[in-house]
């Protein structure tokens, strides 16, 4: 999904647009499986009871709350988190109901580093560390293909913008 062009400046183009790596969704999916499995087991245990219907209603309500809390909310957070590199800036937008964002003009970025441990390397993600001229380094975790993103960002920083020249 492309980043909305209406949010970009004149002569600004998206170079990279990514969501956090899918590994952020492993625990929410496991939580869904545990809630569904546990709820089904408890519902089966309650089936022989004469008052099983109220138990099933309570189980369904508790399971629905848990699914929303532990699966749907993280999925929405993942989906609404954007890491975008354009020809003019690096942008990070996150949040479902309350949005927050960081914009760093490419000209103010002084260094770009990445790091990834063994698990990150196995699944293909890592942490991108961006230092700007006056701020403390910003770390962006779970960036997919972090080495490629690092290279593209470094290339954008090193190249003067061709359209502005």
Segment 57-68 mean pLDDT: 96
Q: Do 89 and 153 fall within a single domain?
A: yes
Q: What secondary structure letter does DSSP report for 72? A: I
- Look at residue 127 and tell me if it is in a domain: yes
Give residue 165's pLDDT.
44
- Of the candidates 33, 54, 77, which is a domain's last residue? 77
CATH number at 112 reads: 2.30.29
Angle between helices 26-46 and 52-67 (to 10 degrees): 180
Contact between 81 and 93 under an 8 Å Cβ cutoff? The reply is: yes
The structure's pTM equals 0.80
Q: Do 91 and 68 fall within a single domain?
A: no
What is the Cα Rg of the chain in Å? 22
Segment 31-44 mean pLDDT: 96
Q: Do 122 and 71 fall within a single domain?
A: no
Residue range(s) defining the domain that contains residue 124? 85-158
CA 109 to CA 126: how far, in whole Å? 19
- Look at residue 19 and tell me if it is in a domain: no
- Look at residue 6 and tell me if it is in a domain: no
Strand partners, 111: 131
64-110 pLDDT, tens digit each: 999 999 999 999 999 999 999 999 999 999 988 888 988 888 888 88
Strand partners, 144: 125
Q: Does an H or E element contain 150, and which? A: helix 146-158
Location of structure tokens 């993280």: 74
Give residue 57's pLDDT.
95
Both structure tokens of 49: 């009871």
Q: Do 73 and 89 fall within a single domain?
A: no
105-159 pLDDT, tens digit each: 888 888 899 999 999 999 999 999 999 876 688 899 999 999 999 999 988 888 7
Domain count, the chain: 2
- Of the candidates 53, 77, 101, which is a domain's last residue? 77
């Amino acid at each position: 999904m492309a980043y909305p062009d209406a949010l970009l400046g004149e002569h600004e183009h998206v170079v990279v647009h990514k969501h956090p790596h899918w590994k952020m969704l492993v625990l929410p999916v496991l939580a869904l499986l545990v809630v569904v499995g546990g709820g089904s087991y408890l519902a089966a245990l309650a089936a022989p009871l004469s008052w099983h219907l109220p138990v099933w209603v309570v189980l369904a309500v508790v399971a629905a709350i848990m699914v929303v809390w532990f699966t749907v909310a993280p999925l929405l957070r993942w989906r609404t988190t954007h890491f975008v590199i354009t020809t003019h800036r690096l942008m990070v937008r996150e949040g479902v109901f309350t949005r927050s964002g960081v914009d760093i003009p490419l000209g103010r970025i002084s260094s770009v580093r990445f790091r990834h441990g063994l698990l990150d390397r196995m699944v293909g993600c890592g942490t991108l560390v961006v230092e700007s001229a006056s701020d403390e380094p910003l770390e962006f975790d779970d960036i997919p293909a972090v080495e490629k993103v690092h290279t593209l960002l470094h290339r954008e920083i090193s190249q003067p913008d061709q359209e502005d020249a």
